[in-house]
Amino acid sequence: MIDSLLSEENKMFRDTVRRFAEKEIAPHVMKWEEERKYPEEYYRKLSEMGFMGLLVPEEYGGAGGCIIDLVILCEEMGKVGVSFPLTHVSACCRSIVSQGNEEQKRRYLPDMASGEKIGAYCQTEPEAGSDSGSMSSFAEKKNGHYLLNGRKVFISNGRIASVFIVLAKTERNLSKPSRGIAMFVVDRDSPGVSVGKTEELMGRHCSSLDEIIFEDVKVPEENLLILAGSKGFKEMMNEFNGERCGNSAFCVGFAQGAYERALRYCKERIQFGKSISEFQGIRWVLAEMAIKIQAARLLVYDAVIKSEKKGKIIAKEAAIAKKFANEMTTWVCDQAIQLHGAYGYTTDYEVERYYRDVRGWSMGGGTTHICLNRIAHQILK
Ligand SMILES: Cc1cc2nc3c(=O)[nH]c(=O)nc-3n(C[C@H](O)[C@H](O)[C@H](O)COP(=O)(O)OP(=O)(O)OC[C@H]3O[C@@H](n4cnc5c(N)ncnc54)[C@H](O)[C@@H]3O)c2cc1C
């Protein structure tokens, strides 16, 4: 069904990614997870394929891909059970592609596209999660630089990143606080930047969510990416709806992976003298899984194909896809464990990891409630 929506080019790209994921990534995922450390090999392989700079224009060393390509990449990676941050990497590149000046693009994008430098996106603070307008990080303008102070939490790839995209206020006490937020590119090796606590996570054991601390960091004026209150900010926030589509596609991939494992198991497992896939109760669960995955996939591709045509990400469609895909994948992965019986609850079968790994997707990139708010805002305005 999706094939009728995709161009020949999209399908060729999907075949390439699928072959790569099955051959180069799938055999190593369990080992990387067990090692519980940053999977250098994974990012190296992605870089060699040009996927780290998928959405970076070719003139800056990227692959010049589009949002449909990002969704394809995320779905195929999810399918083989990879939950390492990818959408955040692309969000960092996209911030610079979309809002950076020529000098900033030349300075950062080639290294980020080649995987030489990993980016981390720093927005969330201990007291400012969904309500980013209440953030307290502040960058004070002084002679030729900004003096940045603040503490960010839950930053994907924070520990290993060499480039931070940081949101901080440059103006206080505005009637609309979010209008005081600016965006900066900050180099990891700037004096005053440090990594604090790394969270112990329920899943995603070889990626990290880290605390990043900025103490009197002198950020040169030329590292200002978006001026507070400018049109650029609104444009950038809209760009981030693209990351919601990537997040949703990961969820579709994960659900598909869990479903395929459950299907295989149900055919093989014999109880009461026959394969459990012959029991109607089991067959209906498998059918429900297939319906929900297909519906989510259609929502994701509908969002990106419409957005691509329009030349900008459509916020409502992206939020609908994310909300549905986040909840769908949690349900499918839960059912996949159920269909495996007690074996599903052991670490011998991958479905327990799928279940743990997908749970975080409904928080990152705007929670399901925030997506609902976004959808309601669009339909009621
Ligand atoms: C896997 C993962 C990766 C992440 N990566 C990054 C990253 O790279 N960079 C970064 O900056 N952050 C990152 N985050 C943090 C993420 O952006 C925040 O968790 C998210 O914005 C929600 O903030 P919070 O956790 O403080 O929850 P809160 O905002 O405190 O929300 C708590 C609960 O209240 C609900 N809620 C809040 N406001 C409303 C409202 N107005 N209406 C209805 N319900 C509401 C929420 O939906 C949630 O259920 C990541 C988080 C996870 C789990």
Spatial separation of the C-alpha atoms in residues 147 and 142, rounded to whole Å:
7
What pLDDT is attached to residue 297?
98
Tell me: the pLDDT tens digits for 295-352?
999 999 999 999 999 988 899 999 999 999 999 999 999 999 999 999 999 999 999 9
Best probe residue, ligand 1, of 92, 125, 130 (max atoms within 8 Å of C-beta): 130
pLDDT > 90 fraction of the chain, expressed in percent and rounded: 80
Distance 231 CA to ligand 1 centre (A): 25
Q: Name the token pair of 23.
A: 């051959």
> What is the residue-averaged pLDDT of the chain?
93
Residue 2 has pLDDT above 90, yes or no: no
What pLDDT is attached to residue 30?
86
Residue 7 has pLDDT above 70, yes or no: yes
> Closest Cα to residue 86, out of 20, 124, 42, 133?
42
Spatial separation of the C-alpha atoms in residues 316 and 320, rounded to whole Å:
6
Type and span of the H or E element at 75 = helix 67-79
The pLDDT confidence band at residue 85, using thresholds 50, 70 and 90, is low
Backbone phi and psi for residue 242, each to the nearest 5 degrees, phi listed first: -65, -35
Tell me: the pLDDT tens digits for 31-77?
888 888 778 888 899 999 999 999 999 999 999 999 999 999 999 99
What pLDDT is attached to residue 34?
85
Q: Are 115 and 46 in contact (CB under 8 A)?
A: yes
Average pLDDT of the residues in 194-217: 94
The residue nearest atom 26 of ligand 1, judged by CA position, is 129
Distance 90 CA to ligand 1 centre (A): 19
What pLDDT is attached to residue 67?
92
Tell me: the pLDDT tens digits for 174-184?
888 888 999 99
The pLDDT confidence band at residue 271, using thresholds 50, 70 and 90, is very high
Best probe residue, ligand 1, of 153, 154, 198, 357 (max atoms within 8 Å of C-beta): 154
Ligand 1 atom nearest residue 88's Cα? 8
For the CA atoms of the chain, what is the radius of gyration?
21
What pLDDT is attached to residue 232?
75
* Structural domains of the chain in order of their starting residue, each with its CATH number: 2-113 (1.10.540.10), 119-226 (2.40.110.10), 240-380 (1.20.140.10)
Residue 237 has pLDDT above 90, yes or no: no
| Ligand 1 neighbours by CB, cut-off 6 Å | 88, 121-124, 129-130, 154-156, 209, 360, 363-364, 367, 369-370, 373
Distance 128 CA to ligand 1 centre (A): 9
Ligand 1 atom nearest residue 204's Cα? 1
Distance 379 CA to ligand 1 centre (A): 23
Secondary structure of 197-243 in HEC code, one letter for each residue: EECCCCCCCCCCEEEEEEEEEEEEHHHEEECCCCHHHHHHHHHCHHH
